[in-house]
Amino acid sequence: MIDKLRADFNRSADTHLLRLETPALPGIDLYLKDESAHPTGSLKHRLARSLFLYGICSGWINADRPVVEASSGSTAVSEAYFAKLLGLPFVAVVPRGTSKQKIAAIERHGGRCHFVDDIMEMAPVARGLAERTGGHFLDQFTYAERVTGWRGNDNIAASIFSQMSLERFPIPKWIVTSAGTGGTSATIGRYVRYRKVDTKVCVADPENSVFYDCFTKCRRDFRLAAPSRIEGIGRPVCEPSFIPEVIDRMLKIPDAASLGAMRVLAEHLGRRPGGSTGTNFYAMCRLAAEMIRRGGTGSIVTLLCDGGERYAGTYYDDAWLAAEGFDIDPYRLQVLTFLDSGQWRPVRA
């Protein structure tokens, strides 16, 4: 199984670092790490590969035994790909409301979906399924921060710094990401401390998520009833892989701002990113505006986490936005004005 994973990695190319054209922001350079280019369409491709390697090398994943995950989608899509590569049965425990596109993507890679009504049931149901079948529960929320090598040169942070090395501001002032498991921010936070570079890590948090409060109040016992409405990020409980100690700053981003910024970015790029990329981009623009206000110069990098194809019937559907009560236009105008003029005008909520 290890050889198959290594051969797959050997066939894979690294994802691009896109520089945004922002003539109205003369002293600031903005970059997007395009993780939608992975074979399974999201940043979760890296995590899935690491979870399988970790499980195999720990003796927990065995031939012909099923692997199970509790995932809202992106991770399960990537894990189904690797399970198929290894000839292992794969079961994803997903919330009943998961988008049809994501379910189809899991099944296209040969995975099977097991639906639950309450998202808080996902992990216990997945653990039970694995125990009953003699399989392995990959458990991304527990292991994400452990399985990703943060010192080596094959992680997302090392890739960003190597791709920034010939830019006019090679050491970014900020790297902005959001958190679902917390694994990506943990990897980037540890890497910048290990390399002792003068880069700060900022995590953007959507509504209906406890991460911002956990960070600002140094507590992990917050609980929320409603799940996040930005797929892939924000959690109702503080997940084990969320490591606030390696985060320098957090920003709370209104969901309408995430979706407004996502739409502006789609126009700017000429293709659609997903909702969590909108959260990242809005936070990036806020930090850039702050740097301009302080007369600073430099670069900021954030992640394009997944493509927007999966959200055609939701975030990119104006009727759906209206039905969900999202008024994105004030934020769309705010981000557009900023990119066109460098002016960051507050939105009157």
Ligand X SMILES: Cc1ncc(COP(=O)(O)O)c(C=O)c1O
Q: Which of 55, 111, 182, 308 binds ligand X (CB under 6 A)?
A: 182
Tell me how far, at minimum, the Cβ of 277 lies from ligand X, in Å: 7
Question: Which position among 1, 20, 32, 44 is part of the footprint of ligand X (CB under 6 A)?
Answer: 44
- Sole window of 100-108, 125-133, 161-169, 173-181 interacting with ligand X (rule: CB under 6 A): 173-181
Strand order of the β-sheet with 112-116 is 112-116, 90-95, 67-70, 136-137
Residue whose CB is nearest to ligand X in the complex, by number: 232
Tell me, by CB under 6 A, how many residues bind ligand X: 19
DSSP state for residue 236 in the 8-state scheme: S
Least separation in angstroms between residue 310's CB and ligand X is 9
**Closer to ligand X by Cβ: residue 129 or 147:** 147
Neighbour-count burial of 6, counting CB atoms closer than 10 A to its CB (0-12 exposed, 13-18 middle, 19+ buried)? exposed
Nearest to 309 by CA among 4, 36, 3, 13: 36
How many Å is the maximal CA-CA distance in the chain? Answer: 60
Specify the stretch interacting with ligand X by CB under 6 A; choose among 37-45, 263-271, 281-289, 293-301: 37-45
Nearest distance in Å: CB 85, ligand X: 20
Asked whether position 181 contacts ligand X by CB under 6 A, the answer is yes
- Residues 224-243: x/- map of binding to ligand X (CB under 6 A)? --------xx----------
- Of 36, 40, 50, 74, the residue at the interface with ligand X (CB under 6 A) is 74
Nearer to ligand X, 55 or 182 (CB): 182
Cα–Cα distance measured from residue 134 to residue 139, given in angstroms and rounded to the nearest whole number:
15
Residue type, 103: I
CA separation for the pair 205, 179 (Å, rounded): 7
Separation between Cα atoms, residue 56 and residue 61, nearest integer Å:
5
Do residues 291 and 297 touch, judged by C-beta distance below 8 A?
Answer: yes
Q: Which stretch binds ligand X (CB under 6 A): 104-112, 175-183, 193-201, 340-348?
A: 175-183
**Of the listed pieces 86-94, 149-157, 174-182, 338-346, which binds ligand X according to CB under 6 A?**
174-182
Which residue among 305, 321, 328, 335 contacts ligand X (CB under 6 A)? 305
Comparing CB distances to ligand X, the nearer of 135 and 183 is 183
Out of 258, 276, 302, 334, the residue judged to bind ligand X by CB under 6 A: 276
- 303, β-bridge pairs: 33
β-bridge partners, 195? none
Q: How far is CA 286 from CA 195, 227, 303, 334, 341, in A?
A: 26, 25, 15, 10, 14
> What is the rounded (10 degree) CA torsion for 176, 44, 114, 136?
-120
Name the minimum Å distance from CB 185 to ligand X: 6
Spatial distance between the Cα atoms of 281 and 264, rounded to a whole number of angstroms? 10
Residue found by looking up tokens 């050889």 in the block: 3
Task: Pick between residue 130 and residue 188 the one whose CB is nearest to ligand X.
Answer: 188
| C-alpha Rg value of the chain to the nearest Å | 19
244 or 298: whose CB is closer to ligand X?
244
Pick from 306, 308, 326, 339 the residue near ligand X by CB under 6 A.
Answer: 306
Considering only residues 136 through 155, tell me which ones interact with ligand X, judged by CB under 6 A: 144
Scanning 4-12, 42-50, 56-64, 86-94 for contacts with ligand X by CB under 6 A, the matching segment is 42-50
Residue in 42, 50, 228, 302 binding ligand X, rule: CB under 6 A? 42
Nearest CA to 184 among 125, 134, 140, 153? 140
User: Which residue blocks in 196-314 are alpha helix, DSSP H?
Assistant: 211-217, 255-269, 275-293
CB of 79 to ligand X, least distance (A): 11
Residues at the contact surface with ligand X, assessed by CB under 6 A: 42-44, 74-75, 144, 178-184, 232-233, 274, 276, 305-306
